[in-house]
Amino acid sequence: MQYNQFEDIPVWQETRLFVNKIYSLFENSEKLKRDFSLVDQLKRATYSILLNISEGFERGSNKEFANFLNIAKRSAGEVRAILYILLDNHYINQETFENYKKSATEISSHLANFRKFLLKTPTYKK
């Protein structure tokens, strides 16, 4: 499997949708909007996943790309932790929590699998 650009990578596409999904949380919650530092941290952690996939792709080697995927995966873990904070402080309900946590967990798993693939493949670019 080879890619011409990072936009072709399925986990990048999935993460892009997740970023938009996270941003939609703030549209409906005045209470959450007021917790600026938590909202800011969640936004930064979420788009860090997307940005690290993109930056890693541009690095040029599978080993470097795999390192950036590790960073992206850590950011996905940070997002999951923040989701617990949102749940515990009643910013989101259990159903919303489960839905968003599932997405973050799937992204994390896809990042881990893609990293394994990269480390066994000579090159990921065409």
Is residue 88 domain-resident?
yes
Is residue 85 domain-resident?
yes
Is residue 8 domain-resident?
no
Map 44-92 to HEC letters.
HHHHHHHHHHHHHHHHCCHHHHHHHHHHHHHHHHHHHHHHHHHHHCCCC
Is residue 35 domain-resident?
yes
- Rounded distance, CA 66 to CA 78, Å? 19
Is residue 70 domain-resident?
yes
Q: Which residues pair with 3 in a beta bridge?
A: 125
Mean pLDDT of 82-101: 96
CATH number of the domain to which 51 belongs: 1.20.1440.60
Predicted confidence (pLDDT) at residue 106 exceeds the cutoff of 60? yes
Query: What is the pTM assigned to this prediction?
Result: 0.91
Mean pLDDT of 77-81: 98
Predicted confidence (pLDDT) at residue 100 exceeds the cutoff of 60? yes
Is residue 59 domain-resident?
yes
Q: Which of 96, 125, 107, 83 is nearest to 16 (CA)?
A: 107
Is residue 113 domain-resident?
yes
Is residue 12 domain-resident?
no
Mean pLDDT of the chain, nearest integer? 92
Count of domains observed in the chain: 1
Are the C-beta atoms of 22 and 104 separated by less than 8 Å?
no
Residue 61: domain span: 30-120
DSSP letter, residue 28 = T
